[in-house]
Structure 1
Amino acid sequence: MNPTRRREVPDPLTLDDALRQSVPLARLRERIDASNGRFAAIQRQLPRALAPHVKPGPLDDESWSLLVPNGAVGAKLRQLQPVLESALREAGWPARTIRIKVVG
């Protein structure tokens, strides 16, 4: 009977290490960071009661999404859209359409 050889398993990568080592994942990380940066730029424009219900969403070459739990929050956010877009411009973010997505 041959002794079973144990394969050495490399230490697992942390998520940050994996994101840094993979070009596609690094690009994803950049988009996540840009989405969060945009969200930080608009937070002061969100009414206090509405702010906890709005989350940053995906960012692509043409648009940036804000995620909301229901249509009522989405409707109010659409009313604020010009103010939010203005806040983004003032913060130096490139122009992108803001999309409101109901995810709840």
Structure 2
Amino acid sequence: MKRHHPSVTLLQASKNSPSLAKLMDINRESNARLRAINALIPATLRHQVQAGPIEEGIWCLLLSNNITAAKLRQLLPAFESHLRTHSLEVRSIRLKIRRQN
């Protein structure tokens, strides 16, 4: 006999799961930081940058390649300063290349 479980939205599921709620908060905070610095990222590179996790004040940006990492490494001080002015401080920003499958 098949059981049919009622479907729930992600928001509903997060209300019932503290760990899922925490992950959603981290994701929301990370995306807010990326939106804040988006104008500082060269337009040709924006599609190669994704918001990553925030752990103990260290924010991770996920990048598609080493060229993007090299350019953004030069911009990290500007990113950190801009985040401070928008009350979105981080201790540091880490750049990580995403593995391509």
| TM-score with structure 1 setting the length | 0.86
2:11 paired with 1:24: no
In the aligned structure 1, how far is the partner of 2:50 from the partner of 2:19?
Answer: 23
1:57 and 2:57 aligned: no
Residue 94 of structure 2 is aligned with which of 76, 99, 104? Answer: 99
Amino acid at match of 2:24: R
User: How many angstroms apart in 1 are the aligned matches of 2:92 and 2:44?
Assistant: 24
Q: Which runs of 5+ in 1 are unaligned?
A: 1-5
Q: Report the Cα distance in structure 1 between the residues aligned to 2:44 and 2:2, rounded to whole angstroms.
A: 55
* Secondary structure of the structure 2 residue equivalent to 1:65: strand
**Segments of 4+ moved more than 4 angstroms:** none
Shift in Å at residue 62 of structure 1? 2.8
Counterpart amino acid of residue 70 in structure 1:
N
Q: How far apart are the structure 2 equivalents of 1:36 and 1:78?
A: 19
Structure with larger Rg: 1
Q: 2:69 aligns with which of 54, 59, 74?
A: 74
Q: CA RMSD in A?
A: 1.5
Moved more, 50-59 or 24-33: 50-59
1:57 Cα offset (Å): 0.7
Paired residues in the alignment total 99
Gaps of 5+ in 2: none
Confirm or deny that 1:88 pairs with 2:88.
Answer: no
Kindly, what percent of the aligned residue pairs are identical?
A: 36
